[in-house]
Chain A
Amino acid sequence: MYKIVQYSYICPQKLKAGTGGSSYHFTTGELAETNFLTALYRKIGIDYPKFFKMDTLAKSGFLASELLIEKYPIADNDKQSTAVICFNRLSTIDTDIKFAHTIADPDNCYPSPSLFVYTLPNIVTGEIAIRQGFTGETAFYSSEKFMPQQIEGIVNDVLAFSKNVLVAWIDIVDSQPLALMFMVADQDGDSNPEFNADNMQSIYSQLFNPE
């Protein structure tokens, strides 16, 4: 049966990030001099300089995948059948605006190629695939809101030929990231929740709804 074998989340509004088992808490003092994602990168303690070139969407997905894979590593043999499927509401509008500013004045138009690449929402799936060596399916979908029924359907279809699927809802609202990433795999036993819309919704609500 397909199970949510682990999940990770990033929630700057509540000053926390973590996984189903453990979490990082931030103080406002810690965040006075650096932004949340950079602070989280340092707390996780990884060394991946490409991180600093990414836009906010890619950084969020990347860090969520780091948190997840630390708890649920993928064997080399399974990397060709590990998929990364992401969903969000505002695609890359946050980065689109930044790129649009660079071309707004026709007499002073210096578009940045590195910024333009990040105006494609699926780049985050590519960043995760590159970091982890995943050559399975990658895809990006956009919807009006977190729609766990739609996610369940699309991901179940991908599970039919994939060993593991990283499933994420990642959005940037008013420059603030929010990420929830599930690791879904076929697993026996009762220890983990079944992969379905209700369980995704309940984890989402528990993490992000106002307390």
Chain B
Amino acid sequence: MIEIISDNIVSPLGFSTEQNYTAAKAGLSALKPCGDYFAAYIDNKMLNEAFADNLNLSPDTFSKVEKAAMLSVKLAVDKCGVDFSSPRTALYLSTTKGNVEYMDNGDYQNPDLPLWRTAKKMLDYFGGKGNYVVVSNACISGLSAIISAARALESHRIDCAVVSGVDMLSRFIVQGFSSLKALSASHCRPFDIERNGLNLGEAAATVVMRRATEGSRFTKFVTGSVHNDAYHISSPSKTAEGSFLALSDVVKSVDPDSLAFINAHGTSTLYNDEMEAVAVNRAGLNAVPVNSLKAVFGHTLGAAGIVESIVSMCALNDNTVLKTLNFSQHGVSKKINIVAGVNQTTSKPYFVKLISGFGGCNAAALFKKGE
């Protein structure tokens, strides 16, 4: 089994896991109106100050993506210590669009546009030996990277994985989602009858993983699964094929009654939330509490799978099931158990992270409470 020995979230709600979890638990949101859409932007000045203070580097020569990711990795590894100089330590970087913001300014030839350049720049700073993996699997990238890293640890190819996810809201990304008519003009409402689209958010998040040691007290990553819908490149399957297969894979070894909650993707688009309800229903998990964190952080793209896994780990270890902020009236066709109104308490040992993305990809992972 794999354990998560340290983590960090850099978001508009704060630059530590604790600040982010406390804000989510208190029902706060990073999302704000930005003209004709809602979004969550990290303040540039605060990021630059934290970057300079923690990394002793000038913020001027790094992009926002690089600064957020490097700050997140630094704050995560400072808590546990990581030997980046070991060839058996690997950096996993999860991002959908990396430094695409350079293109907003017409810079189409910038040498830092390739996604792997960001990973190499990060390794250079942390003294890594070039052992990196870059995962770009649309919106499931973050969980894909955690699953890929866990497998590399389990097959003893590496001894330590630093898994970091990041995306910032370039004009490129906002215009793209806008062209898909996916953005809501108001604060998103996952699973609600009135939901009408998603909100985008900026974040970087990092987990440090290793093979669990005897008597370990850390949160465990138990298993993960990735399946494609084989249906459509930009709409989810009507039968939730991939999501159902991934979810079924990860829960097959546990009693459904031991699941504290399923943290869904819950983007607040009509099709995604309906598809996930079908997946949960097909898997026979209608009684298990389901929540979404999208109204707290927005959809943080390549960081989403990591941000939401970390906040869910905090909740599980705090015996809490977080409510779905902004959800009021059931708006999906299946009677799944969406956590409404207030946070709940739980003493159950497991949660599932569920996530889906363009290209028809879906992932699920099972996590177990720390002791």
Query: How many Å lie between the Cα of A138 and that of B245 in the bound state?
Result: 13
| A23 part of interface (Cβ distance < 8 Å) | no
Docked complex: B93-114 residues within 8 A CB-CB of A: 96-98, 100, 103-104, 106, 108, 113-114
Query: How many Å lie between the Cα of A104 and that of B170 in the bound state?
Result: 13
Indicate which residue in B98, B155, B228 contacts A125 across the interface (CB closer than 8 Å).
B228
Q: Report whether B138 and A120 are in contact in the complex, using a CB–CB cutoff of 8 Å.
A: yes
Query: How many Å lie between the Cα of A144 and that of B114 in the bound state?
Result: 8
| A207 part of interface (Cβ distance < 8 Å) | no
| B120 part of interface (Cβ distance < 8 Å) | yes
CB distance from A146 to the nearest CB of B (A): 12
| Contact A103:B175 (CB < 8 A) given known A135-B228, A156-B155 | yes
When distances are taken between beta carbons in the complex, the residues of chain B under 8 Å from A183 are none
Q: Report whether B116 and A142 are in contact in the complex, using a CB–CB cutoff of 8 Å.
A: yes
| B284 part of interface (Cβ distance < 8 Å) | no
CB distance from B139 to the nearest CB of A (A): 9
Query: How many Å lie between the Cα of A200 and that of B258 in the bound state?
Result: 44
| A15 part of interface (Cβ distance < 8 Å) | no
| Contact A139:B137 (CB < 8 A) given known A96-B172, A122-B359, A130-B232 | yes
When distances are taken between beta carbons in the complex, the residues of chain A under 8 Å from B361 are 122, 125-126, 138-139
Residue on A nearest B138 in the bound complex, by CB:
A120
| Contact A142:B230 (CB < 8 A) given known A109-B175, A120-B96, A126-B360 | no
When distances are taken between beta carbons in the complex, the residues of chain B under 8 Å from A130 are 230-233, 360
| Contact A96:B135 (CB < 8 A) given known A91-B114, A111-B178, A116-B176 | no
Indicate which residue in A103, A125, A126, A135 contacts B171 across the interface (CB closer than 8 Å).
A103
Residue on B nearest A106 in the bound complex, by CB:
B171
CB distance from B95 to the nearest CB of A (A): 9
Indicate which residue in A99, A100, A141 contacts B136 across the interface (CB closer than 8 Å).
A141
* Chain B: number of interface residues, binned into ranges: 35 or more
| A89 part of interface (Cβ distance < 8 Å) | yes
Q: Count of A residues near B, CB < 8 Å?
A: 48
| Contact A93:B155 (CB < 8 A) given known A126-B358, A138-B361 | no
When distances are taken between beta carbons in the complex, the residues of chain B under 8 Å from A127 are 233
Q: Report whether A143 and B116 are in contact in the complex, using a CB–CB cutoff of 8 Å.
A: yes
When distances are taken between beta carbons in the complex, the residues of chain B under 8 Å from A139 are 135, 137, 144, 148, 226, 361
Interface string of A85-102 (1 = CB under 8 A from B): 000011101001101100
| B151 part of interface (Cβ distance < 8 Å) | yes
| A84 part of interface (Cβ distance < 8 Å) | yes
| B234 part of interface (Cβ distance < 8 Å) | yes
When distances are taken between beta carbons in the complex, the residues of chain A under 8 Å from B229 are 129, 135
CB distance from B222 to the nearest CB of A (A): 15
When distances are taken between beta carbons in the complex, the residues of chain B under 8 Å from A65 are none
Indicate which residue in A93, A99, A142 contacts B134 across the interface (CB closer than 8 Å).
A142
Q: Report whether A138 and B359 are in contact in the complex, using a CB–CB cutoff of 8 Å.
A: yes
Docked complex: A103-132 residues within 8 A CB-CB of B: 103-104, 109, 111-113, 116-117, 119-123, 125-127, 129-130, 132
Q: Report whether A113 and B179 are in contact in the complex, using a CB–CB cutoff of 8 Å.
A: yes
Interface string of A27-63 (1 = CB under 8 A from B): 0000000000000000000000000000000000000
Indicate which residue in A119, A122, A150, A156 contacts B97 across the interface (CB closer than 8 Å).
A119
Q: Report whether A120 and B136 are in contact in the complex, using a CB–CB cutoff of 8 Å.
A: yes
Query: How many Å lie between the Cα of A130 and that of B198 in the bound state?
Result: 25
11 contacts between A and B (CB under 8 A): A80-B245, A122-B137, A123-B358, A126-B233, A129-B360, A135-B242, A138-B228, A138-B359, A141-B136, A154-B148, A154-B152
